[in-house]
Structure 1
Amino acid sequence: MKRQRAEKQGRAGEGRAALWLQVKGWRILDRRRKTPLGEIDLVAKRGNVVAFVEVKWRATAAELDLAIDERRLARVAAAAEAVAHEYAKDGEDIRIDVLLLAPNLFPRHIVNAWQP
């Protein structure tokens, strides 16, 4: 039951993140993109930038500080690298972003979170 509730909350968080990005002028290209190397929560584009976005939803602001780490970012980066050619065309930049969400808080958008 706890896992199912977490999955449901995660999906709701991804929906909120997509909506927030759209309000900020991003176009959502894909959701929950699965690759052999992992899953990308959102693929979004604005101008000549394609962002592969990891979304983290937590119950409290304090939990958000521990929601993302180098291992998780590396997995998202590997998955993004495997499919970037499908979304980014010539001259478009790609990056890994993180969106952190918790109830009653403004989303925290970490731009270009992965820099190996």
Structure 2
Amino acid sequence: MSRAKGDYAEERAYAYLLEKGFMVVERNFSSRFGEIDIIATKGGVLHFVEVKSALDYELAIQNITKSKLSKLIKTGDVYLKKNALHNTDYMHDAIIVTPLEIWHLENITI
């Protein structure tokens, strides 16, 4: 996927989160382990969000591999330590963006 398409999907995911009452804390947080597309909070819970897009749901969801999820978790841990968020509730989410729909999958695991 081109960077432009990825940026467009992230913009749609960002707007979706705002519409659903999330407060976006940071975008494109990087560590040596990887990048978190969006970090947002709602109801006292921090959400580390991976955005994936494709022409349909199945193609996009296949791109959330065990390796990708592991990098998301490690990078989330770096963010928590860097910001001294020792007692913060958090979860790892995915937002799937297709031309017609957006799905928010909360608390994804390996």
With normalisation by structure 1, the TM-score equals 0.85
Q: Which position in structure 1 is the counterpart of 2:98?
A: 102
Q: Kindly report structure 1 stretches of 4+ aligned residues shifted beyond 4 Å.
A: none
* Count of residues in correspondence between the two structures: 110
Give the root-mean-square deviation of aligned CA atoms: 1.8
**CA deviation after TM superposition for structure 1 residue 63, in Å:** 1.1
> Aligned AA for 1:96?
H
Q: Which position in structure 2 is the counterpart of 1:8?
A: 4
Contact 1:48 1:91 in 2 (8 A): no
1:13-48 residue CA offsets vs partner (Å, 9 max, x unmatched) = 111101101111100011111111110000000121
Unaligned runs of 5+ in 2: none
Q: Which position in structure 2 is the counterpart of 1:93?
A: 89
Instruction: For 2:85 and 2:34, locate their aligned partners in 1 and report how far apart those are by CA, in whole Å.
Output: 22
User: What is the percent sequence identity of the aligned residues?
Assistant: 25
Other structure's SS at 1:41 match: strand
Contact 2:52 2:61 in 1 (8 A): no
Contact 1:41 1:53 in 2 (8 A): yes
1:61-88 residue CA offsets vs partner (Å, 9 max, x unmatched) = 3312312121110111111111113557
Unaligned runs of 5+ in 1: none
